[in-house]
Amino acid sequence: MVELHTSRLDSVFHALGDPTRRRMLNDLALGQRTVGELARPFSISLAAASKHVKVLETAGLIQREVRGRTHLCRLDPQPLASAHSWLSAYRQFWEGRLDDLERVLREEDANKNQTSKGDEQ
């Protein structure tokens, strides 16, 4: 399993837990944006947008550059890659469980087919 500092992973998942921040990350995947540009789709104040940006920045998901009064933000995908690696370990677990479920359901279907063929004779 991929090792990642728990506090860093916690902050990444906390940041991703909010739909506004996820949308901001999607927008940043298309290129850098100002805080005002990130706020625009949500009709939220710059102060509210700045709070979301701070959470993303604390999680390491974005980098902010201050140019005068303008704050430019850009995506830093490394923490997302680390979270994806951590989650990937559970993918194998769930795929195994789903494979087991599929096998059980196929066996039940086969047993039902055998029973109904026996009833027809």
Q: Name the token pair of 2.
A: 């991929």
Give dist(CA 79, CA 26) in Å, integer: 15
Phi, psi of 64, rounded to the nearest 5 degrees:
-115, 135
Cβ neighbours for 11, distance < 8 A, ≥ 6 positions apart = 55, 58, 59, 60
User: How many Å is the Cα radius of gyration of the chain?
Assistant: 23
Q: Name the token pair of 13.
A: 């998942």
Q: Name the token pair of 105.
A: 């359901």
Secondary element (H or E) of residue 113: helix 78-120
Q: How confident is the model at residue 5 (pLDDT cuts 50, 70, 90)?
A: low
Q: How confident is the model at residue 2 (pLDDT cuts 50, 70, 90)?
A: very low
Q: For the segment 24-41, what is each residue's pLDDT rounded down to a tens digit? A: 999 999 999 999 999 999
Give dist(CA 52, CA 75) in Å, integer: 14
| Pairing verdict, β 62-67 and 33-34 | unpaired
pTM: 0.72
Delineate the domains of the chain, giving CATH numbers in brackets: 1-114 (1.10.10.10)
Q: For the segment 42-97, what is each residue's pLDDT rounded down to a tens digit? A: 989 999 999 999 999 999 999 999 999 999 999 999 999 888 888 888 888 888 88
